[in-house]
Structure 1
Amino acid sequence: MALDAEAPLLAAASKPDGAAATPRARNKYPFFCAVLASMTSVLMGYNVAVTSGAQIFMADDLGVSDRQIEVLSGAINIYSLIGALLAGWTSDRLGRRLTIVLTNGFFLAGPLVMALAGGYAALMAGRFVAGIGVGYALVIAPVYAAEIAPASSRGLLSSLPEIFINGGVMLSYVSNFVFSGLPVHLSWRLMFAAGVVPTVFLAAGVLTMPESPRWLAMKGRRDEAKLVLDRTSDTPAEAEQRLQEIEEVVTGGGGGGSGASVWKEAATKAGVRRVLSIVLTLQFFQQASGIDSVVLYGPRVLAAAGVTSNTLLLGLNVLFGIAKAGSILIAMALTDRVGRRPLLLASTGGMTATLLVLGSVFAVFAGAKDDAAVATVAVAVVVAFVCTFSVGLGPLAWVYSSEILPLRLRGQGAGIGTAMNRVISGVVTMTFISLYGAITMAGAFYLYAAIAAASFVFIYACLPETRGRSLEDMEELFHTK
C-alpha cells in the first residue's frame, strides 16, 4: 500500500518541465530525527547549570571551598574544548549517529562519577568527563540537523539544539528545587544522578535514526545515502537533486573525508579561509558581547541596580531563562521565512541598543539604592537584551556556521568554531566580576555594547544570505571547492 501511495508522487516528479507536479506536504520525518539528535543538548544544558544549586550542598557535605566551587563550575568550558576538537575527527570516522551515542556515554559517566564522589578530586574527574560531552554535543547536534534537513526547514532544525540547551538549563533549576529539601548528603547527589537516567534511553533512540546522507556519500555508500534522502526530502524530485549535488561535491574531491584538513586547505584556498574566518568571528561575537555575564551573573547585576530581595532575584533569574528560551522559538519560526541575515542584523542591532541603555542606567543612577523605578528599568532592559540575543545571534551563529562549511571540512570546522565559542565563554564568565570592579558596571556594559556594534558591522559587510540554498550550493557561493 505504501508503494502504491507513492506512485502518483513519483509519476509527478517524472513529468516534463512544463507539466504541473503534485506537491507533497512538508516532510515531518527529518524533524523527528533532528529533535532526537538535539536531545543531547538538553543533557548538555543540564550538566552545565546543575552545579548552580548543587554547589551549596556540596560545600556543606564535602567541605568544598568557594574557590574550588568556582573552578569546578568554570572548568567545564575548558574541558569542553577537548570534546569540541575531537568531535570533528570522531564524526568523520564513526559517523554522525555513533558520535551522538558516544556523546550520551560521556553524559552518563560524568554525572554518575560526580553523584558518587567522596571528595573534590572525584568531583573534578566527573566534571572533566561531562565537559568532554559538552564539547561533543555543541558540535554534533547542529551538524547532524543541518545534514539531515531539506533546505526548506534547515534553519528551523539547526536551531533546535539551542532551544534544547536552554531547556536543559531550566530542568537543572527544577532539579535543584525538587531535591533541595532532602538531607544534605543526598540532595546534591540526586541532582547529578537525575541527569544520568535519560542517557540510556536517548542513546537507544539515536540508533533508530538514519545516518547523515552526506556522511554516507562521503564514505562511498551511495545506495544508503539515497534511501535516507528519499525519507528526509519533501519530494522524490528533491531527494534526487540533493543526491546529485552531494555526489558532485564528493566526486569532485569535496567529500574526501578523513584526509581533508581544514588548516591545510585554509592555507591554499581563499574560499576556505573566508568560511573559516566567518565561523570563528561569529562564534567570537556570540560570546564576547556578554550574554553569559547576564545569564550567569543576572542576580548580581540586578542587585547592583537596586533589587534587594534574594527571593525576587532568583525569581527574576527564572524569568530571564524563560525569555531566552521563548525568543529562540521565535527565531526557529522565522529563520526559514525571513532569512538568516535580517535576523542577525536585527539581533545585533537590538543587543547594541539594550547594552547601551543598561550601561547608561548604571552610569546615571550609580549608587542608587531601593529605587524601584531604576530596578524596574534594569530588569526590562536585561530581558530585552536576552530576547534580542536569542532571536538571532544566539541560535543563528550555530545555524550559519554549520551550513556554510563544506562537507569535507564540516566536522573539523564545526569543532574549531565550537572551541572558539567555549574559550571566549570561559574568558567572559571568569572575568566579569574583575571587569566591572575595574571599570564599573556601566563601563562593562558599554564595552559589551561596542563589541555588539562591531558584530553588526561584520554581519552587514561579510555575511551573504543562505536561506533556501542547498548545502552543496554553499560551496559555489563561498568558492570553497
Structure 2
Amino acid sequence: MTEGKVVEAHKTLGDFDPPKKPKRNKYAFGCAMLASMTSILLGYDIGVMSGAALYIKKDLGVSDVQIEILMGIINLYSLIGSCLAGRTSDWIGRRYTIVFAGVIFFVGALLMGFSPNYSFLMFGRFVAGIGIGYALMIAPVYTAEVSPASSRGFLTSFPEVFINGGILLGYISNYAFSKMTLKLGWRMMLGVGAIPSVILTVGVLAMPESPRWLVMRGRLGEATKVLNKTSDTKEEAQLRLADIKEAAGIPESCNEDVVEVAKQSTGEGVWKELFLYPTPAIRHILIAALGIHFFQQASGVDAVVLYSPRIFEKAGITDDTHKLLATVAVGFVKTMFILVATFMLDRVGRRPLLLSSVGGMVLSLLTLAISLTVIDHSERKLMWAIGLSISMVLAYVATFSIGAGPITWVYSSEIFPLRLRAQGAAAGVVVNRTTSGVISMTFLSLTKAITIGGAFFLYFGIATVGWLFFYLVLPETRGRTLEDMEGSFGTFRAKSNTYKGENGNAPPHHHQQQQLQLGTNLQT
C-alpha cells in the first residue's frame, strides 16, 4: 500500500486515537442546556422556601413543625412524579416528558402563589412536587443519552448547575420581595416560580428526541440524524448507533428507517431484572446508584440550604435582611463551585473528584458542629466562632458543589444499561428525594432534641460513612461509552477497575480497537 493511502487511512482512524481531545459538540451542548433547565424548578423552590418560610410563619401563624412539613413534604410528593417518569418517558419519549414536567410545575407555582391558607399551600406544593419529580428523573437521563462520551460528564452535570442557579434565584427573589407587605411578599416569592417553567416548556420543543429512545421505538432513521448531530465525528455516530441497536436487540445489519422492536426492549420486566433477579454487575450498579443518592442527601445538604437563615441566626445574625443577604452568599458560592466542577468532571474523573469533595464536606461539618456547639455553650458573643460558623457553611456548600452535588446525577444516569436506564434512574431519584424529605422535615426537631451542634455532628458521621462507601464501591466511569459501562461493575474493590491509557484516557471502545488494529494492518 502506498504511503499516501496509509496517511489517508490514519486520518479516518485518527478520531479514535485516545490521547486526542475532540472539540466540544455545540449541538449536544445546546440540547443538554435546554433539558437541564428543568432542574431550575427544584432549585428555585428550595432557595425561595428558605426565606419565604420566615414570612409564612408570621402571616399564617403556623408552628415550627408545620414549617418543617411544608418545606420538606415537596420531596416526598416528588416521588410520585419520579415513579411515574420512568414509564412515562419510555411511553411518550424523553422530550415530551420534560414538557409535561414544566406544565405541572407551572400549575403548582400558581397555586402556591395564590394560596389563601396553609391547606391550600400544601396542595400547591403537592402539584409542584410531582412536576419536580418528573424533572429530576428525566433531565440527567436525556442528557446522558444525547451526549458523546468525550463530554458526557461535563454535560450531565448541567442539571446540578441549574439546581444551584435556581437556588440562587430563589435567594435573590427572597431578598427582592422581602420589602413587600407580609401578605403579598411570600406569595410573590412562590408565584414567580411559574416563569421559568413557561420558558422551559417552549424551549424544549426545539430539542430533538433522545436517539436511544428512538432506537427503542425502532425509528432508526431519526436516531441516525440525531446521532450525526450530537457525535464528535460521523464514525463515532455509526459506532454509537451500532451499540444502541445491540442493546435494544436490533441486528447491526438492519439499516431500515423504521423497524419492529421486541417487546422486552420497551421497558417490560425491568423492575424484576433490577430488584429480583439482577446479575452481579446489575446488583453492583444498583447498590452504587442508590448509595450515591442516599449519602448525597443524608450528609445534610438540604438542612444547610433550606435552613441557612436559622443557622445564621444561631451563629449570631439576628436581622431578617442580613440573614437573607447571607443566604444569597451561600447560593452564590454553590453556583460558582458547581461551574468549576463541570469543567473538571471529564478531566479529573468522577471518583477522585467525589472522594475529594466528600472529604472536604466531612471536615467542614466537623468544624461547623464544633463552632456551633461553642457558641451554644458560651454566655457572651464570640466573634471568632461566629465567623468560623459562617465560613464553614460556605466551605460545606462549596465542597458539596464541586463533587457530591453534580457527580451523583452524572454517575447514576450513566451506569445503567439502556433497557434499565429510565427505571434505574427513577429508583435513584426516589432514594434521593425520600432522604432529602426526611432530612428537611426533621432538622428543626433534631436541633431541639440534640442541639444544632449535635445535628451537624450527626451529619458529619453520615458523611464519613459515605466517603468509605464511595471508596469501596464506586469504580471510575470517565471515558466509557454508555453501552460499555457494565464491564466496570460486578466486582467490589477499593480501586477503580477502569483502565486508563496514556494521558489518563479510558481505553478505546471495542469497535474503536478494531478500527485502530485495521490502521496498523494497513501500515504493515
Structure 2 Cα separation of the partners of residues 100 and 64 of structure 1: 35
Q: Which of 313, 321, 324 is the matching residue for 1:314?
A: 324
In structure 2, the residue matched to 1:3 is: none
Query: Following superposition of structure 1 onto structure 2, how do residues 286-365 of structure 1 map, counting pairs within 5 Å?
Result: 286-364=296-374
Q: Which of 242, 248, 259 is the matching residue for 2:268?
A: 259
Q: Which of 364, 368, 377 is the matching residue for 1:367?
A: 377
The CA deviation string for residues 148-188 of structure 1, in whole angstroms up to 9 with x for no partner, is 11011111111111111121122122223333444455434
The 8 Å contact of residues 143 and 414 in structure 1, kept in 2 or not, is answered as yes
**Matched AA of 1:382:** V
In structure 1, the residue matched to 2:402 is: 391
Shift of 1:404: 0.3
In structure 2, the residue matched to 1:187 is: 185
Structure 1 Cα separation of the partners of residues 453 and 361 of structure 2: 15
Q: CA RMSD in A?
A: 2.6
Structure 2 Cα separation of the partners of residues 30 and 125 of structure 1: 37
**Matched AA of 1:262:** W
Query: Following superposition of structure 1 onto structure 2, how do residues 222-233 of structure 1 map, counting pairs within 5 Å?
Result: 222-233=220-231
Instruction: Give the direction of change, closer, same or farther, for the CA distance of 1:76–1:333 in structure 2 (3 Å limit).
Output: same
Corresponding position: 1:32 with 2:30: yes
The CA deviation string for residues 322-344 of structure 1, in whole angstroms up to 9 with x for no partner, is 11111111110100001000001
Instruction: Give the direction of change, closer, same or farther, for the CA distance of 1:98–1:185 in structure 2 (3 Å limit).
Output: same
In structure 1, the residue matched to 2:451 is: 440
The CA deviation string for residues 174-210 of structure 1, in whole angstroms up to 9 with x for no partner, is 2233334444554343333322234333212211211
Structure 2 Cα separation of the partners of residues 479 and 40 of structure 1: 33
Instruction: Give the direction of change, closer, same or farther, for the CA distance of 1:457–1:479 in structure 2 (3 Å limit).
Output: closer
Per the normalisation by structure 1, the TM-score is 0.90
Query: Following superposition of structure 1 onto structure 2, how do residues 45-444 of structure 1 map, counting pairs within 5 Å?
Result: 45-55=43-53, 58=56, 67-251=65-249, 256-268=265-277, 269-364=279-374, 366-368=376-378, 369-444=380-455
Shift of 1:66: 5.6
Mean CA deviation greater in 252-261 or 332-341:
252-261
Structure 2 Cα separation of the partners of residues 33 and 479 of structure 1: 32
The 8 Å contact of residues 306 and 374 in structure 1, kept in 2 or not, is answered as no
Corresponding position: 1:16 with 2:9: yes
Identity of aligned residues (%): 51
The CA deviation string for residues 250-269 of structure 1, in whole angstroms up to 9 with x for no partner, is 11789712213234443222
Per the normalisation by structure 2, the TM-score is 0.83
Secondary structure at 1:328's aligned position in 2? helix
Instruction: Give the direction of change, closer, same or farther, for the CA distance of 1:164–1:238 in structure 2 (3 Å limit).
Output: same
Structure 2 Cα separation of the partners of residues 380 and 358 of structure 1: 9
The 8 Å contact of residues 160 and 332 in structure 1, kept in 2 or not, is answered as yes
**Matched AA of 1:260:** G
Structure 1 Cα separation of the partners of residues 64 and 295 of structure 2: 30
Shift of 1:447: 2.0
Mean CA deviation greater in 417-426 or 24-33:
24-33
Secondary structure at 1:378's aligned position in 2? helix
Structure 2 Cα separation of the partners of residues 378 and 415 of structure 1: 36
Corresponding position: 1:461 with 2:472: yes
Mean CA deviation greater in 369-378 or 50-59:
50-59
Unaligned runs of 5+ in 2: 251-261, 492-524
Instruction: Give the direction of change, closer, same or farther, for the CA distance of 1:254–1:272 in structure 2 (3 Å limit).
Output: farther
Structure 2 Cα separation of the partners of residues 168 and 78 of structure 1: 20
The 8 Å contact of residues 282 and 486 in structure 2, kept in 1 or not, is answered as no
Instruction: Give the direction of change, closer, same or farther, for the CA distance of 1:365–1:123 in structure 2 (3 Å limit).
Output: closer
Shift of 1:402: 0.6
Instruction: Give the direction of change, closer, same or farther, for the CA distance of 1:443–1:178 in structure 2 (3 Å limit).
Output: closer
Mean CA deviation greater in 96-105 or 409-418:
409-418
Structure 2 Cα separation of the partners of residues 181 and 425 of structure 1: 30
Structure 1 Cα separation of the partners of residues 69 and 382 of structure 2: 35
